[in-house]
Amino acid sequence: MIKKNKNSDKFLLTANEILNHIGGKNNFSELYNCVTRIRFKIIDKEKVKLEVVKKIPLVKGVVWNGDELQIIIGADVEKVKTALDKIIQNSNSGSTTQLIKTPIYRKLLNFVIAVVVPCLPLMFYTGLSSGISALLSSPGIGLTQSGWGKPLGELDLFSAFLFLNERVGFMLLGVFFGFNTVKYFNGDLILGLLVSLTLSSGLLMGQSWVLIENIFGTGQELAIKGYDGSILIFIFASIAFVYMHRWVKTWMPSVISSMFTPIVSVGVILAGSFFLMGPIISLIELMIATAVLQLLDIPWGIGAFLIALLFQPLVLTGSHMALSSIVLSSMITLEQPSVYYVCVQISAFAQAGAVLGCGIMAKEKSFKANALSTFPITGIFGITEPALYAVNLPKLKPFLAGCVASGSMGLVAGAMGLKMKSYTGNGIFGFLGFEKLTDGAIFLVLGAIALILATVFTCLVYSERKDEYKTYKYFTKRINKLAGEKKLNNLVEKLELVEEYKNENKKLEIEFLKLQSLKNKVTKLKTRNKSVDNDLTTQISDLEKIITDKIKTYNKQLEVITNYISVEIEKDSEVIGNKKDYIQKEMTNAISSLKNNYSTFFEAEVVV
């Protein structure tokens, strides 16, 4: 048996009463709290029942400050605020949506979109800044110095500014992802931001405490350090913080909750992240990087194929940082050329092609604009994060199309033995890292082919959700067509009735002939026998009455059917189409036949 939490019910009831008596959730624009008060930015003061609010048991007092309504709660203010948030969230979600079970992949996709999309302007700016910095510091131009591998103090002021511009956004991308994660789970944004900023560890200035040296013989260290440049640690830590913070608030005494809840929740998560979660994630990333590096030894270009195929998925996990640092270290210290960075740049070109394919195929204007504006950043400067998080990954199929195109060109590069001597930048600037000019040209050609292939693959597999309005129009037209066919069937049935009446008319003709024969006999017998004449006259009158009644009945039914068909023909002429003339012709023939027969056997005119 589940034990009911009476305190929780008490706070929910209080929150519900407050909402009811201040005009509902639509009568305030902001809701927040301080140490003892809940504060509402009221839209319409007249809807607030101030005296009723004062009588709510947990309310200690009410204060107006301009348009701000301050409800004094005291030590339980956090719990009442949480209850208010819960009621508002439930009312916004609605009962209908709660009945629908959302698939796990859809929940995951919604989470990715909620975390990534708000960061798109940041990634666009940082990506473009990286491209400009790479262009200005390239050997062909040389207006600025590259900040890679150098202390900032050795750079001139403008070069240092450009380097900060291109690196800070990406190095602290995890902080922004962590903030959005806390926001998605409705956690405390300020404390969540504190967790992420602490994990980025700007104050450490690159310092670390080594746990294991030269792990797996790669020359890399497993250490407790700052996690700037990583992604996963910030997301996991932020999720853990949200649930830890909620749990602590459930048992922390109200009197000390505002002081000790942050200390416990933030302190536990930071300690767990630095000493446990961070090293574990770093170890996993390093293991993945080491395993991937072993793929380079596979001959016939298969190793390069796998690297090019898997590199962008590794970017999503953050493992590419460890992988790239290992390769770059061997390229610098041992002066060993490697196909690794060839595959890296080809994968960037392929993702650019996938973005271009989305831009070509997209019909929704804002998404199309995002895709086309991202293409130059990825295609020219090789910065894939904006393309991945803004366009390709949320749609998934373009991302996979880019990976396939990248893998195919990686296979060609590996089979040709194409290797880069030094890392000179991303995108087209990779051309400068080859010892031979011809190798650089081959690299650009392979990159262009990867881009084109990814564009074609994306155009083949990409599809948007069907336009609701067009779908509505299609089904409306289809329903109308089916309804028209039903009406047409009804008209055909009526036409069959006309045919039936025509057959009945033939039977009447026989009756009329019998009647005529009797009339002739009467004429002959009138002179012979007067009594017989009277009997026959009576029989004829009775028979004539019966036939006349039948004619009236058929006549009336025929008139109803005729009117119905005429109205339906005019009303549904578009639906009846080419059957209209046929129906009218058959109806006219039937009526004419009846009229002719009636006028033949009766002197009086039969009205149809």
Confidence tier at 295 by pLDDT (50, 70, 90): confident
DSSP 572-605: THHHHGGGHHHHHHHHHHHHHHHHHHHHHH-SSP
pLDDT in tens, 119-166: 877 877 776 777 677 777 766 565 666 655 566 667 777 877 887 887
Round to whole Å and give the CA distance between 437 and 258: 65
Q: Is the pLDDT of residue 94 over 70?
A: no
Round to whole Å and give the CA distance between 239 and 277: 13
CATH of the domain at 48: 3.30.1360.60
Q: What does the pLDDT read at residue 3? A: 43
Q: Is the pLDDT of residue 553 over 50?
A: yes
Confidence tier at 269 by pLDDT (50, 70, 90): very high
What is the percent of the chain where pLDDT is above 90? 15
Of residues 186 and 329, which shows the higher confidence score? 186
| In a domain? residue 205 | no
Out of 40, 61, 94, a domain closes at 94
| In a domain? residue 514 | yes
User: Which sign does the torsion angle of CA 103, 109, 115, 118 carry?
Assistant: negative
Of residues 574 and 562, which shows the higher confidence score? 562
- Domain containing 593 equals 469-601
Round to whole Å and give the CA distance between 194 and 200: 10
Round to whole Å and give the CA distance between 348 and 344: 7
Q: Is the pLDDT of residue 601 over 50?
A: no
Q: What does the pLDDT read at residue 4? A: 45
Round to whole Å and give the CA distance between 528 and 523: 10
Round to whole Å and give the CA distance between 167 and 155: 15
Q: Is the pLDDT of residue 167 over 80?
A: no
Q: What does the pLDDT read at residue 50? A: 87
The answer to whether 20 and 51 have CB atoms below 8 angstroms apart is no
CATH of the domain at 575: 1.20.58
Residue 408, CA distances (Å) to 157, 301, 446 in order = 43, 10, 10
For 28, list phi and psi in degrees, rounded to 5.
Answer: -145, 150
| In a domain? residue 550 | yes
Of residues 145 and 258, which shows the higher confidence score? 258
Active site members: 34
If we measure between CA atoms, which residue out of 510, 514, 505, 490 comes closest to residue 608?
Answer: 505
The answer to whether 430 and 397 have CB atoms below 8 angstroms apart is no
Torsion, CA 408, CA 412, CA 417, CA 422, rounded to 10: -50
Q: What does the pLDDT read at residue 570? A: 64
Of residues 110 and 572, which shows the higher confidence score? 110
| In a domain? residue 58 | yes
**Average pLDDT, integer, range 284-303:** 78
**Average pLDDT, integer, range 102-114:** 73
Least confident stretch, 94-108, 156-170, 297-311: 94-108
The answer to whether 81 and 11 have CB atoms below 8 angstroms apart is no
Q: Is the pLDDT of residue 72 over 70?
A: yes
pLDDT in tens, 564-581: 666 666 665 555 555 566
**Average pLDDT, integer, range 187-195:** 92
Q: What does the pLDDT read at residue 603? A: 43
Of residues 120 and 245, which shows the higher confidence score? 245
Residue 43, CA distances (Å) to 62, 87, 196, 349 in order = 17, 19, 35, 52
| In a domain? residue 406 | no
> CA 280, 282, 286 angle in degrees (round to 5)?
115
Q: What does the pLDDT read at residue 182? A: 93
Out of 52, 69, 94, a domain closes at 94
Least confident stretch, 215-219, 288-292, 509-513: 215-219
DSSP 140-201: TT-SS---TTS-GGGS-HHHHHHHHHHHHHHHTHHHHHHHHHHHHTT--HHHHHHHHHHHHT
| In a domain? residue 476 | yes
pLDDT in tens, 16-71: 889 989 988 888 888 888 778 888 999 988 888 888 888 888 888 888 888 888 89
Q: Is the pLDDT of residue 9 over 70?
A: yes
**Average pLDDT, integer, range 590-603:** 55
Least confident stretch, 337-341, 449-453, 563-567: 563-567
Q: Is the pLDDT of residue 315 over 70?
A: yes
Out of 94, 110, 142, a domain closes at 94
Least confident stretch, 12-16, 67-71, 401-405, 463-467: 463-467
Number of domains in the chain: 2
**Residue labelled with tokens 């017998």:** 525
Q: Is 481 exposed, middle or buried (0-12, 13-18, 19+ CB in 10 A)?
A: exposed
Q: What does the pLDDT read at residue 66? A: 84
| In a domain? residue 367 | no
pTM: 0.56
| In a domain? residue 251 | no
Of residues 374 and 228, which shows the higher confidence score? 374
The answer to whether 373 and 127 have CB atoms below 8 angstroms apart is no
Round to whole Å and give the CA distance between 106 and 347: 27
pLDDT in tens, 508-547: 777 777 777 777 777 776 666 665 556 667 777 777 777 7
Q: Is the pLDDT of residue 278 over 70?
A: yes
Interhelix angle 120-137/157-171, rounded to 10 degrees, is 140
Round to whole Å and give the CA distance between 392 and 112: 12
Q: How many CA atoms does the CB half-sphere of 508 hold within 13 Å? A: 27
Q: Is the pLDDT of residue 100 over 50?
A: no
Q: What does the pLDDT read at residue 608? A: 34
Show the tokens assigned to 537: 């006259």
Q: What does the pLDDT read at residue 79? A: 83
Q: What is the mean pLDDT of the chain?
A: 77
